Amino acid sequence: MQIADNSVASFHYTLTGDDGQVIDSSEGREPLTYLHGSGQIVPGLEKAMAGRAAGDQFKVDVAAAEGYGEHHPELMQELPREAFQGVEDIQPGMQFQGHGPQGVINVTVTKVDDDKVHIDGNHPLAGQTLHFEIEITQVRVASEEEIAHGHVHGAGGHHH
């Protein structure tokens, strides 16, 4: 069976950056399982998965626009330290949730000065080309319940 909308696919992956360093991998873990066509993986990878079958192995480079998006400088801000009330020791790399015009936004602290905290609301991989090595392990038809709920149930998926 080939991967198409409303199919469930499981795959192992290794994601590297332009420098060849591994960013994420399923090595030593269960394969990632998703409902194809539901937007659960980055668009460029989902497009590359279409038409593939169990046993297929391939590499794909996903441009930023079809990965985690372009880097937007306007999502980088300086906030007064007082905006982080209740947090004693603010360090670069810490992540917080805030509220922006589009709703909840995740931000990462990039730098801390005496009275200012620099944050970045971009996804950590925004602006980067994603280099995937993929091995598809299983493809099956999604159940009506999975399609209605928009996600996989059971092994490798969501449990209600």
pLDDT tens-digit series, residues 68-109:
999 999 999 999 999 888 888 999 999 998 777 778 889 999
CATH number, domain 73-120: 2.40.10.330
Measured CA to CA, the distance from residue 66 to residue 48 in angstroms comes to: 11
Mean pLDDT score, 35-63: 97
Lowest mean pLDDT among 8-17, 46-55, 76-85: 76-85
Supply the pLDDT for residue 154: 73
Confidence of residue 155 (pLDDT cuts 50, 70, 90): low
Measure the CA–CA gap between 52 and 114, rounded to whole angstroms.
53
Spell out the domain ranges in the chain: 7-68+126-149, 73-120
The reported pLDDT for the residue numbered 99 is 77
And the tokens for 13? 């992956």
- Between CA 82 and CA 93 the distance in angstroms is 18
Asked whether 12 and 123 are in contact (CB, 8 A), the reply is no
Distances (CA, A) of 64 to 69, 92, 102, 155: 5, 24, 21, 31
- Average pLDDT of span 131-158: 88
Say if residue 158's pLDDT is above 60.
Answer: no
Q: 7-68+126-149 — its CATH code?
A: 3.10.50.40
